[in-house]
Amino acid sequence: MVSADPRTAELRVVASGLQFPEGPIALRDGSVLLVEIQRGTLSRVAPDGKVTVVAELGGGPNGAAIGPDGAAYVCNNGGFEWHDRGGITAPGHQPAGYIGGRIQRVVLDGPDAGTVTDLYTECDGRPLRGPNDIVFDAQGGFWFTDLGKSRARDNDTGSLYYALPDGSSITEVVHPLTQPNGVGLSPDGSRVYVAETGPGRVWCWDVAGPAEVRPANGGIGPGGATLLHGFAGYQLLDSLAVDGDGNVCVATLITGAVSVIAPDGTLVRQVPVPDPDPFVTNICFAGAGSRTAYVTSSGRGLLYATQWHTTGIDLAFSA
């Protein structure tokens, strides 16, 4: 039986009043960089909870990561319709003001700080629809998911991509996927994981090289994927992060928790936030040797900090 982690009370609110925060990145100075999807910004949360806007991105900035050049790379899903469900903010369909999907680069330091560049808007002539989550590898390239957009009568199919941060190369690696959301790499970079939102599945592939995967353990899923874990009942999945022990920590919607999946696929525990929120969307770690983790409770506009049960991973790049 999977039990809730008894240390839930240790989660403390770092910042409130955020407009659907996602994509947290723990910075060396103790602040946290994150996106506010509803606000259309990349924002910085200081240790004392003060929030400042780093860049105006428009659309729907989603997952974010620091690249080898120290810039922030952001998956922009193009925007959502927004709804209030009893005080909980909820994203909806593709909006009338949809700007299209894109990968954006944001300068963080120096005289050009805050400058935004649209790095990719298409792949092989096919427009990006709803880029969602991103992770850099040790070679300096990045994997990202495109969840697609939903409309009243139809939905896009999604894909897993690999791209270079200089804007020179983008490759569709796996297609089709059903609402691919969170993406992460094992500590040694030998596996790539993707969480599918609606189906509640986490897939894994062996990494054969940049922009190349091969079946993991003879997998027969999309692109030769192996099912790491399929969630029971109505549990939807959002973004994920991998800890120093190789556990896949995936934000679990509806349940309002972060679920911890061992490398062998066992669901070890679920860690709910103190104030129930069906839109718990992300977790990030402060780095190797640190047990500090940050969790976004997006529906309530909160950023939590906690001492996690395992240490973080040494990220390929950090700021």
The CA-CA-CA angle for residues 31, 181, 260, to 5°, reads 70
Q: Is 90 exceeded by the pLDDT of residue 145?
A: yes
C-alpha 152/C-alpha 149 separation (Å) is: 10
Specify the 3-state DSSP secondary structure of 29. coil
- In a 13 Å sphere around the CA of 246, the CA atoms on its Cβ side amount to 14
Residue 313: pLDDT band (50, 70, 90) is confident
Lowest mean pLDDT among 6-10, 71-75, 139-143: 6-10
**What are the backbone dihedrals phi and psi of residue 278, each rounded to the nearest 5 degrees, phi first?**
-70, -10
- Over residues 10-20, the mean pLDDT reads 97
Q: What is the mean pLDDT of the chain?
A: 95
What's the confidence (pLDDT) of residue 316? 65
* Residue 58: Cβ within 10 Å count: 16
Higher pLDDT, 311 or 128: 128
Q: Report phi then psi at 83, rounded to 5.
A: -135, 150
By the 8 A CB rule, do 82 and 39 touch? Answer: no
The dihedral region occupied by 246, where left means phi > 0, alpha psi between -120 and 50, and beta the remainder, is left
- For residue 2, the model assigns a pLDDT of 53
Confidence of residue 125 (pLDDT cuts 50, 70, 90): very high
Residue 292 pLDDT: 96
Q: 191 pairs with which residues across the strands?
A: 206
Give the tens place of pLDDT for each residue, 183-236: 999 999 999 999 999 999 999 999 999 999 998 788 899 999 999 999 999 999
Please tell me the distance from the alpha carbon of residue 20 to that of residue 3, in angstroms, as a whole number.
Answer: 28
Residue 12 has pLDDT above 60, yes or no: yes
Report the distance separating Cα 160 and Cα 144, nearest Å.
Answer: 6
SS3 300: helix
Predicted confidence (pLDDT) per residue in 22-81, tens digit: 999 999 999 999 999 999 999 999 999 999 999 999 999 999 999 999 999 999 999 999
Distant-in-sequence, close-in-space partners of 173: CB < 8 Å, separation ≥ 6? 143, 159, 160, 161, 162, 211, 212, 213, 223
Burial of 9 (0-12, 13-18, 19+ CB in 10 A): exposed
**pLDDT at 262 exceeding the cut of 70:** yes
pLDDT at residue 7, as a whole number: 43
CB under 8 Å to 207, separation ≥6 — which residues? 137, 185, 189, 190, 191, 192, 213
User: What does the pLDDT read at residue 216?
Assistant: 79
The average pLDDT across 302-312 equals 94
| Beta-bridge partner residues of 15 | 303
φ/ψ of residue 152, rounded to 5: -60, -35
Q: Comparing 17-26, 83-92, 282-291, which segment has the lowest mean pLDDT? A: 282-291
Say whether pLDDT at 6 is over 70.
Answer: no
**Rounded CA separation 305/116 (Å):** 28
